[in-house]
Structure 1
């Protein structure tokens, strides 16, 4: 096997990366570490596309980690992800297994592959109070003064925009001290799905998840006491479905707006991955249209 510390599988939503990672883990006796920023939340299943059935082969449960680890309403962040990833990664290596990192959250993936030095950012009540009077457009402009906006989910809602500004303000005034994080050698596999196939799969998956009860999932989360504002903080499905449930959107407006938003999100994911290549990462792209066996064989060739 190639001299690597872990194998990474990335791709946009609906590309089939999870099924590929699970099939490879089953074949290699490996364990999967999720690289998805929303699948960490319990009870947020359909909206985050967990597809947990993909991890079962002939009755065997492929081990997976960093899914269902915090309660909905909590604001999990990339610093916590680095910490939790490292704990899980070391455990897998100590068991003599190959870790497979799989996900579509570019910041999370890159933070561990590049070993970003991060610090937890505390809340700043005074800054939040000052920013509360601004509109989302005005907050977006303020955030743009700190950095070029690559990830538009930062300005998906007022609450997210304020948190993003809070983080940037903290790092501006408190330079980050380096903390130890191992340099990891990873073979990176990208699942390359053409635009039309991706759009068709996204639309089909959305219809299926709505039929499977995604609206009821959001109602249940609200009934459990998660506030509408906290749910909308997670963006995409939880933003649009919550707006529908509380009466801000009609069903047709919700479906139409959400479908467009997911297509845009998938495009941003690919933009991030292409940016990783410009930042020095080598990504081996595999055609999503290949059969599962063909994909697995190509990865085996790369590993050799």
Structure 2
């Protein structure tokens, strides 16, 4: 049975260090499972692998979208499945590494068949949202697809847009499409899921704060300033909503001070880590490793060796 190793964990848990340790022992290629590192020009705030790391081991699904574009979990699942099969056919070992758990769910559990994106409908919805506001569009969705509307917040622009796009394009509610059984994208594959989790959240929180301040020192504000100067980018886009970016965007818009933006970004990153940990702990058959222990990398390597060296 073909094997896909998944190295998952919250932000700042040391996933990259563990993946590079695996690369020193086996001929691996890394499929990056991250909804932020897909964007070109967003390097510092996403902790994108360095040029040296990318030279040491192939990394896939980095820099595949412009910040003005979107990328869905369904697109990730199809892309990652194709990459995993291709890597294995070349006699190498695919490693899934990242913390976007919705991507993991789509890849492992399969996909519901949904209509393709329609740029014209999306553009129309964006225009209506600017004129009427997303809560008004949420009310419209409640009339045509109450099941989906009930699980979405009135200002959840990305998901509201997708649900209304599906309704307007197909004439069927998103909830109807999702009622069909998901189709597997990697049938017959075995998943080995290694979850890097902190034994002490306070220590992880300190890591998060230090890492973000280091990003600021490395020029993150200038990175966001370059994005902010583009007329085609705005806070409604998934790229600009990324944690650590949207807070600095608010600062550049004059809404908050730089110190406030930094503190809000750190708090938002902590909340992201909390959601990631909650999701990880619900996964079946995960192998948990304390990311704060001194031998975390060795434990990850040992778990992989049980499967790769047999």
What's the TM-score once normalised by structure 1's chain length?
A: 0.83
1:106 counterpart residue number: 101
1:219 counterpart residue number: 225
Contact 2:78 2:185 in 1 (8 A): no
Of the candidates 193, 208, 212, which is equivalent to residue 206 of structure 1?
212
1:90 counterpart residue number: 85
From the superposition, tell whether residues 42 and 156 of structure 1 become closer, same or farther in structure 2 (CA, over 3 Å): farther
2:23 counterpart residue number: 25
Of the candidates 243, 247, 270, which is equivalent to residue 254 of structure 2?
247
Per-residue CA distance 1:85-128 (angstroms, 9 max, x = gap)? 12222220111111000110001012111222343343646666
RMSD value, Cα: 3.2
Per-residue CA distance 1:173-232 (angstroms, 9 max, x = gap)? 546586562322111101121311210110110110010011100111233444233376
1:77 counterpart residue number: 72
Pairing 1:282–2:249 present: no
Partner Cα distance (1:137, 1:106) in 2:
30
From the superposition, tell whether residues 156 and 173 of structure 1 become closer, same or farther in structure 2 (CA, over 3 Å): closer
1:51 counterpart residue number: 49
Q: Which deviates more from structure 2 when the two are superposed, residues 31-40 or residues 177-186?
A: 177-186
Partner Cα distance (2:48, 2:218) in 1:
13
Partner Cα distance (1:197, 1:302) in 2:
31
Contact 1:11 1:103 in 2 (8 A): yes
From the superposition, tell whether residues 147 and 191 of structure 1 become closer, same or farther in structure 2 (CA, over 3 Å): farther
1:296 counterpart residue number: 301
Contact 2:196 2:289 in 1 (8 A): yes
Per-residue CA distance 1:217-260 (angstroms, 9 max, x = gap)? 01112334442333764331121111111211111211111111
Contact 1:18 1:54 in 2 (8 A): no
1:234 counterpart residue number: 241
2:186 counterpart residue number: 182
1:156 Cα deviation from its structure 2 partner: 10
Of the candidates 238, 263, 268, which is equivalent to residue 270 of structure 2?
263
Contact 2:40 2:66 in 1 (8 A): yes
Pairing 1:197–2:192 present: no
- Aligned pair count? 291
Partner Cα distance (2:52, 2:113) in 1:
33
1:6 Cα deviation from its structure 2 partner: 1.2
Unaligned runs of 5+ in 1: none
What's the TM-score once normalised by structure 2's chain length?
A: 0.81
Partner Cα distance (1:231, 1:146) in 2:
20
2:170 counterpart residue number: none
Partner Cα distance (2:153, 2:162) in 1:
8
Partner Cα distance (2:155, 2:248) in 1:
14
Per-residue CA distance 1:24-50 (angstroms, 9 max, x = gap)? 123111110011111111111112121
Contact 1:35 1:101 in 2 (8 A): yes
- Corresponding residue SS for 2:107: helix
1:5 counterpart residue number: 3
